[in-house]
Amino acid sequence: MNRIVIFASGSGSNAENIIQFFQNSEQIEVTHVLSNNPNAGVFDRCERLDIPASLFEKSSFKDDDTVLNFLLAEADYIVLAGFLWKIPAAIVEAFPNKIVNIHPALLPKFGGKGMYGMNVHKAVKTSGAKETGITIHYVNEHYDEGAIIFQASTAVTESDTPESIAQKVHELEYEHFPRVLESLILKNG
């Protein structure tokens, strides 16, 4: 079994989608969800889906090895699904090409610090870009700069609002993220 641990800071709709996608898989399973946010909607979803979920403190992530040791024991792959903190170097080094993030735009555009959630979709709208999309990429120690695994795009029309752009992007995320994870994990054997 390839074990995935998901990190999520917010609502967790991608986390739920990934959990459900692999529910009947014989090769891949989501074993745990970790969150830095006690109010994250992902906790309710995990309770409903019967997936263990834990809250962790910044210090156990950044300053000592608590989260790293948990991951070394529990995870083959780490999936960031709406997770807002930078991954510490020790975790990146321990999981080379095993940490995958989804970014809700077409990197390298609309990436980097502060570019998360609705900030991204507002920036896309303001820029007048004619398209946006999703980027699934490996995580290195810089925000949004790891090697790109997959992108998919969607048109942005004049009548689109940041909210409608967000909805289009979410649809792409739900369609592609679990499938891209599946193919990269199975390819690695």
Positions annotated as catalytic residues are 103
Q: Does 111 bind ligand GRF (CB under 6 A)?
A: no
Q: Does 135 bind ligand GRF (CB under 6 A)?
A: no
Strand partners, 5: 32, 78
Interface stretch with ligand GRF, choices 7-15, 20-28, 122-130, 142-150 (CB under 6 A): 7-15
Q: Which of 50, 59, 52, 5 is nearest to 28 (CA)?
A: 5
Q: Does 11 bind ligand GRF (CB under 6 A)?
A: yes
Report in angstroms how near the CB of residue 13 gets to ligand GRF at its nearest: 3
Size of the site for ligand GRF (CB under 6 A): 16
Closest residue by beta carbon to ligand GRF = 82
Binding mask 69-88 for ligand GRF (x = CB under 6 A): ------------xx------
Residues that bind ligand GRF (CB under 6 A): 8, 10-15, 81-82, 102-104, 116-117, 169, 173
